[in-house]
Structure 1
Amino acid sequence: MIALFVLLVSGVSAEILVDLNCTTYVGDGTITFGYAPSATICNNVISDASCDALYAPVTAGEYPAPGNDVERPFNCYTATATSGGAFSADMKKAALDTCPRSCGFCCGTSAYNCRNVQFPRLNCDTVTRAQCESAAWRTIIAADCPSACGFCNEGGCVDAVIDCANDRSICGTVGMQDFVNTYCQKTCQRCASSTTAASTGTGTCTTFIADSSTSCRSWAANGFCTNNFYTAVQRRAYCATTCRLC
């Protein structure tokens, strides 16, 4: 995640002139900074038509998109209708709250603005929209790469099947418990983070095996000690003290 930069540039050919948030360095001789995939991965809060009216593109029909360097609509970051206008935090907040996709600010919204784990099981930078909606990947991404799919506010807990919430009666249906425990953890409140201390290995221990990794604190925050994807052997081998394993 690239931090916010306020950069006033004159006499250069780069198109993204003021706010480099949600961009990545390209430096290919044609484009210096281009928009990262996280710049436009979200949806606008209000209708796209309303965003078109509020945040008219600098060039008609040209909006920020991954890989391009189209200048953001001026209203996204300044109260002045020119590229030389002073950066305005209030204008940017308004853009984030209403039209983050049109302004290329998705990475700054609360759902996408968080840290991924230090050692994820997949490359967070290459996560696709299809993976974000895949039953095979969603729970892993929520734990390891929450910023890639807008899972930052989910606490590592998502449904593997995205339409579980359409029929909450399934949570109590006899014969469906194995299914909901695996695929509807959020809707049916079956996430590993809700387990008791006894079930996570604390028991009556008074001393614990020392952690062998320096990353245990961040791993634990993202579900290492509670997510069933990891085995008890893995937890004990790397983070026994953090996970409170004898």
Structure 2
Amino acid sequence: MVDMCPHTCGLCDLTGVPRCKDNNKICPDLKDSCNDANPITKAATRQLCPETCGDCSGTGATTDPVPRTADCKDVATNCDTQKDLCENTFYKALMKTDCQLSCGWCIPTNYVCKDMNSDDCAKWDADGFCNNTAYSRKMRLDQCGKYCKMCT
């Protein structure tokens, strides 16, 4: 629900952009888990504690640029209807292999890196848009890929 309705869940400021802040007061105690070897622990901690984990850049730089590959494509046929699982901790590994294009895990070599509206990108990223996992990688790539340095 939080991924689909961040505003309704009270995660947005007055501009409608989700705030990039820790979601639990114990986040400072979890700092070591931000880069945990266990990918599930790491993903859960980074989602719960983006500020503590250093994912609130506000500078237009993403911590996770998207690679260009000649074979960037979806393997599964239902990727368009399953996009809400792209960032899901339990399905992320499967989505990376089966729906890499739809999820924004790669971009084709002919992809034109651009922003839909660079003025919006700067405003949104003041609240950490480029690294905010409340938005999917694909949405961040499509809306502000160039500004967020997700592509070149």
Q: What TM-score do the two structures reach when normalised by structure 1?
A: 0.29
Q: What TM-score do the two structures reach when normalised by structure 2?
A: 0.42
Does 1 or 2 have the higher relative contact order (CA < 8 Å, sep 6+)? 2
